[in-house]
Amino acid sequence: MKAAVLHEVGQPLAIEEVQIDKPGPREVLIRTAAAGVCHSDLHFIEGLYQYRLPVVLGHESAGVVEAVGSDVTYVSPGDHVITCLSAFCGHCEACLTGHMSICDGKETRRQRDQESRLSQAERPVSQFANLSSFAEMMLVHEHALVKIRKDMPLDKAALIGCGVTTGVGAVHNTAKVEVGSTVAVIGCGGVGLSCINGAAIAGAGRIVAIDVVGSKLNLAKQFGATDVIDAANGDPVEQIKEMFDGGVHYSFEAIGHKRTAEQAFEMLRPGGTATMIGMIPYGTKIEIHGADFLQERKIIGCAMGSNRFRVDMPNYVDFYLSGKLKLDELLSRHITLDQINEGFEALKTGEVARSVIKF
Q: How many domains does the chain have?
A: 2
Residue 351's pLDDT is what?
67
One domain, residues 131 and 173: no
Q: In what order do the strands lie in the sheet with 55-56?
A: 14-17, 2-6, 55-56, 123-127, 118-120, 19-20
Question: Quick check: is 317 in a domain?
Answer: no
Question: Quick check: is 160 in a domain?
Answer: no
One domain, residues 118 and 192: no
One domain, residues 8 and 117: yes
Model confidence band, residue 281 (pLDDT cutoffs 50, 70, 90): confident
- The C-alpha angle 347, 185, 223, rounded to 5 degrees, equals 75
Nearest to 290 by CA among 271, 266, 267: 266
One domain, residues 66 and 140: yes
Question: Quick check: is 318 in a domain?
Answer: no
Give the β-pairing of 19-20 and 27-37: unpaired
Residue partners of 322: CB distance under 8 A and separation at least 6: none
Q: Is 141 exposed, middle or buried (0-12, 13-18, 19+ CB in 10 A)?
A: buried
Query: In the predicted model, what is the mean pLDDT of the chain?
Result: 95
Residue 282's pLDDT is what?
85
Question: Quick check: is 156 in a domain?
Answer: no
Residue 352, pLDDT above cutoff 80: no
One domain, residues 292 and 179: yes
Q: Is 10 exposed, middle or buried (0-12, 13-18, 19+ CB in 10 A)?
A: exposed
Average pLDDT, integer, range 50-76: 97
Average pLDDT, integer, range 255-272: 97
Q: What pairs with residue 30 in β-bridges?
A: 65, 138
Question: Quick check: is 314 in a domain?
Answer: no
One domain, residues 137 and 207: no
For residue 253, the enclosing domain spans 168-303
Give the β-pairing of 268-276 and 298-301: parallel
pTM, rounded to two decimals:
0.94
Residue 111, pLDDT above cutoff 90: no
Q: What CATH number did the domain enclosing 236 receive?
A: 3.40.50.720
Model confidence band, residue 77 (pLDDT cutoffs 50, 70, 90): very high
Question: Quick check: is 309 in a domain?
Answer: no
Residues assigned a catalytic role: 38, 40, 43, 59, 162
Q: What CATH number did the domain enclosing 128 receive?
A: 3.90.180.10
One domain, residues 27 and 127: yes
One domain, residues 182 and 253: yes
Q: Is 66 exposed, middle or buried (0-12, 13-18, 19+ CB in 10 A)?
A: middle
One domain, residues 353 and 221: no
Report how far apart, in Å, the C-alpha atoms of 349 and of each of 163, 344, 346, 352 are.
18, 9, 5, 8
Nearest to 134 by CA among 234, 5, 310, 283: 5
Model confidence band, residue 347 (pLDDT cutoffs 50, 70, 90): confident
Residue 267's pLDDT is what?
98
pLDDT tens by residue, 216-255? 999 999 999 999 999 999 999 999 999 998 999 999 999 9
One domain, residues 84 and 215: no
Residue partners of 347: CB distance under 8 A and separation at least 6: 37, 39, 42, 355
pLDDT tens by residue, 334-344? 999 999 999 99
One domain, residues 19 and 116: yes
Residue 181, pLDDT above cutoff 90: yes
Question: Quick check: is 350 in a domain?
Answer: yes
Question: Quick check: is 37 in a domain?
Answer: yes
One domain, residues 70 and 178: no
